[in-house]
Structure 1
Amino acid sequence: MEAAAVSLAVKAYDEGIKCAGYIKGKNDYVNDLEENYLELKRVVRTLKARRDDVEAEVNRDKRMQATRECQDWILRVKEIETEFCKLEKEYNRKGKRSWKPNSWFSKSKLSERIEKKSAEVRCLLAEGNFERGVVVAKLVKPVEKMGALNIEDKQSLHTVFQETLSYLKHDKIRRIGIWGAVGIGKTAIMQYLNDNEGIAKMFNIIIWITMPNNPSTQKLQKAIIQRLNLSVEGISSIKGKAQRISEELEGKKCLILLDEVGHKIDLHKIMGFQNLKDSKVVLASRSRGICYAMGANALIQVKNLSFDDAWNMFQEIVGDAISSSKIKKIAELVVLECGGFPLLIDRVARTFKSYEENDVLWNRGLMCLQRWDGIKVGGIDEMLELLKFCCRDLDEIKKGCFLYSALYPEECEICVDYLLECWRAEGFMDYTNEFKDARGEGHVILKELIDLSLLEITDGRKFVKMNKVLRKMALKMSSQRNDFKLLVKPREGLNDFPKKEEWEQATRISLMDNQLQTLPDTDLDCCNLLTLLLQRNRQLKKIPDSFFVSMQSLRVLDLHATEIQCLLHLYPNRSTSEGSI
């Protein structure tokens, strides 16, 4: 019994020692709570500073990227930050509690967790030394996706893509030119080429470049060097950088996509393209001439969307707003006014979508869209600015020839010979030249306008026409010029002539294809009028005696298909050799 009592006493003593040690340990944690918290706060601050230094080193050179080890370390630092914030909130909440039993144990546990977290942070800080470095060279992606729109449901655009694809598969074709009017969808096609998985499998790398407004060899080399993640340290010359690019791409199949090309550029000078036998280039330009100048082996014209494609695109954007048959009829007219230009369809559709199912607003929007000088409609001003950009390289004579073509009704086929004669009479070409020389000069101008997609050739090159949207833009441009004021009202069913002030402000007037029976008999001051087109006013039988008195500058007068038989008594001092009268 005595031995058992001694054993029990020893055991109780040991347990007492353990309990006292446990309580002392817990009490030490409680006593050290503030110290442990401050230590954790210090090491976390040091860790964050190290993290900032590492990220600065990673971001210093855009050609480099963080190693996988470094990326994982930065992620763990972020997790530590989150955990510290939680511990700090808990400390602020529990650290000020009274010394009740529950509070005492809670503080002890918190202090212990904080101490362990400090040890974890110190280990992570030690790992942040990165003896093998924090960066490696970036891997060049074969393709940088553009987020291209799906054009498979737009037959007009998808046909161009398919034709381009067939040329890319052709061994002997290395340069492909895609050309068409501003806002016609060239960029959408180019982005679709960039993102297409089938094309990506054909090439080792695809390089996309949007040409700047003022391109230079240095800017283009810089863009390619960045895309290829090349080091050109110590290479300052254009030739040296071109050789470095060429060496990098040698033996690789590379596709270069050049969008919005407005000037000829020398790809060999930029990147030694002639040495890259397995590489190809596709360029998009508003000018067919630039495609030729860039040495394109194949040319593809992007034409306006068909009505079906345009309608589908418009519907897709507007959505449920086209629910009633009444709004649908208005919507179809809106689409027609957009002339098959994807850019304009997109902007206009977004404007009309805001009208929801209010047919009054839809009608008003259509009316504004039909009036080139009307109230603003989303997309119109943007298209005007783009058109002005397209015309910036035209000299004043060519620009005048373009604006002159807006005198004719929209989508009207204009006889080329007739148009050239009017241009000659107007003075856009040297009138003193022989007719054959002037005609040749006129064809040069005409070709440039066609190559810029400002005019479209039809019917075996005998006629040209102007898209209705481009015509609206040309009219708006002319309204902003004092020397090219147009009064244009063809095919409007006019029975009476326009107001006197409209006549006197205009330098060129088109009232063709109306129902006029006579002309103003009031005194007109039309000293600046150069062209007057009255053809096919089939009921026009009489011209007042004083009508031409002030029109001493008149150079083009067309009375074809009217009832007027003779002008000599009205215009006795004007020789028919002085213009197209």
Structure 2
Amino acid sequence: MVHTDRYLAEIWNYIQADEVGWIGVYGMGGVGKTTIMKEIYNRLTEAKKNRERFDNVFWVTVSKASNVEKLQGDIAKGIGFKTLSEEQDVTRRAGILFDALKERKRFVLILDDLWTSFPLEEIGIPNLTKDNGCKLILTTSVLVDVKIQKIAKECDGLPLALVTDGAALRNVNKEDGQNALMALGGFAANVEGMEDKVFSRLRFSYDRLKDDATRLCFLYSALYPEDCDIYTKQLIEYWMWEGLLGDEGRIKDQICKGEMILNYLKDSCLLESAGEFRGFEYVKMHDLIRDMAIEITKTSPRCMIRAGVGLDYPPLEEEWIEDVERI
């Protein structure tokens, strides 16, 4: 369970720190990133002392299928700048948006639900330096091309990480600003207002996986028992033997593809690292993520999953589902 007060305090401290230029809040869909950031936004806009610290605070919900042009449009709309739509050239749009943001002086720009990495200069976001005091905060469910250096500190198993470099934000002045990333690896099912939306948000993360092969590999992982540490080499071999990695190419190539899919699922927070034992890597699936996967397998592909419940005999014939593909 994510302790929201603790993460609120962590993010708030980063916002107040002069040396921090941008903050990323990273975790699977449904973990409560938007809920936490809405509280941060309310604090920034309501507190008098924070209005004195920052001249403007903007909230931008990013379009799901976003590219540079769409993201520029989302930001322009979020900051109340209407004339950007008159310009079609992406580079000139970046220059116009850059000037518009500079006019907002010491701003906080919150980008909620970013799925693709973009260089700041291509979008038109000014450098985030100690001198100008501007902040960029983003939430994301997929860690794309971001290299992180783990800090030796954990909060109930949820790592606090510091971003040292990232393709999405390569133009940050490293002398003046640090980049901070909060990794919310657990699940906050009890965050107020989230209960009715949990499964739809988790399903959204599943639907946004890059292809059917990746989705099938993810669903296959739910065949393991709840809370099971899954040996990654074995998992990839099972994917391969089941034909989930395709029928063409050498075994070595298929294993390489399996490793790429495994890393992608971890970056998407649908699988999480379970550490190493005697030099072998393990992953696991969060209970609620597994519940969501099992729900999907009731329709397509059809699976019966009874792993880890202590069966002495196979399920009775009348319990079997029609057109079952895996048991």
TM above 0.5, yes or no, is yes
- Give me the identity figure in percent: 26
Q: How does 1:137-536 map to 2 (within 5 A)?
A: 156-169=3-16, 173-196=20-43, 197=47, 200-230=51-81, 232=83, 236-237=87-88, 238-250=90-102, 252-274=105-127, 278=132, 279-289=134-144, 292-295=166-169, 297-304=179-186, 340-342=188-190, 346=193, 348=195, 379=196, 382-394=197-209, 395-430=211-246, 436-460=252-276, 462-481=281-300, 484-500=301-317, 502=320, 505-509=323-327
CA contact (8 A) 1:262 1:290 kept: no
Alignment match, 1:146: none
> 3-state DSSP class of the match of 2:144?
helix
Between the aligned partners of 1:480 and 1:234, the Cα distance in structure 2 is 43
**Structure 1 residue 411: deviation in Å?**
1.8
CA contact (8 A) 1:178 1:186 kept: yes
Ranges in structure 2 where 5+ consecutive residues have no aligned partner: 147-165, 171-178
CA contact (8 A) 2:189 2:198 kept: no
Structure 1 or 2, whichever has the larger Rg, is 1
CA contact (8 A) 1:157 1:302 kept: no
Between the aligned partners of 2:186 and 2:5, the Cα distance in structure 1 is 12
Between the aligned partners of 1:193 and 1:489, the Cα distance in structure 2 is 42
1:257-313 CA distance string (max 9 Å, x none) = 0111123345433334348873331110111226654238433211335xxxxxxxx
CA contact (8 A) 2:98 2:126 kept: yes
**Structure 1 residue 447: deviation in Å?**
1.1
Between the aligned partners of 1:477 and 1:466, the Cα distance in structure 2 is 15
**Structure 1 residue 492: deviation in Å?**
2.4
Between the aligned partners of 1:187 and 1:347, the Cα distance in structure 2 is 10
CA contact (8 A) 2:21 2:128 kept: no
Superposition CA RMSD, Å: 3.3
Q: How does 1:89-168 map to 2 (within 5 A)?
A: 156-168=3-15
Q: By percentage of residues, which structure has more helix?
A: 1
**Structure 1 residue 400: deviation in Å?**
0.7
Between the aligned partners of 1:231 and 1:407, the Cα distance in structure 2 is 51
> 3-state DSSP class of the match of 2:314?
coil
Between the aligned partners of 1:439 and 1:496, the Cα distance in structure 2 is 34
Quickly say closer, same or farther: Cα 1:231–1:464, change in 2 above 3 A. Answer: closer
Between the aligned partners of 1:214 and 1:500, the Cα distance in structure 2 is 45
Between the aligned partners of 1:170 and 1:434, the Cα distance in structure 2 is 52
1:468-501 CA distance string (max 9 Å, x none) = 11111111112121xx211111232323321336
CA contact (8 A) 1:174 1:281 kept: yes
**Structure 1 residue 503: deviation in Å?**
7.3
Alignment match, 1:356: none
Between the aligned partners of 1:180 and 1:280, the Cα distance in structure 2 is 20
Alignment match, 1:66: none
**Structure 1 residue 383: deviation in Å?**
3.7
Quickly say closer, same or farther: Cα 1:166–1:234, change in 2 above 3 A. Answer: closer
Between the aligned partners of 1:190 and 1:418, the Cα distance in structure 2 is 39
Between the aligned partners of 1:286 and 1:280, the Cα distance in structure 2 is 20
**In structure 2, what residue type is equivalent to 1:164?**
I
Between the aligned partners of 1:271 and 1:248, the Cα distance in structure 2 is 9
Alignment match, 2:150: none
Quickly say closer, same or farther: Cα 1:399–1:293, change in 2 above 3 A. Answer: farther
Between the aligned partners of 1:389 and 1:488, the Cα distance in structure 2 is 22
CA contact (8 A) 1:185 1:342 kept: no
Quickly say closer, same or farther: Cα 1:405–1:274, change in 2 above 3 A. Answer: same
**Structure 1 residue 466: deviation in Å?**
1.1
Structure-1-length-normalised TM-score? 0.44
Alignment match, 2:153: none
Q: By percentage of residues, which structure has more strand?
A: 2
> 3-state DSSP class of the match of 1:409?
coil
Quickly say closer, same or farther: Cα 1:469–1:256, change in 2 above 3 A. Answer: same
Between the aligned partners of 1:390 and 1:233, the Cα distance in structure 2 is 31
CA contact (8 A) 1:211 1:258 kept: yes
CA contact (8 A) 2:2 2:184 kept: no
Alignment match, 2:173: none
Between the aligned partners of 1:200 and 1:302, the Cα distance in structure 2 is 28
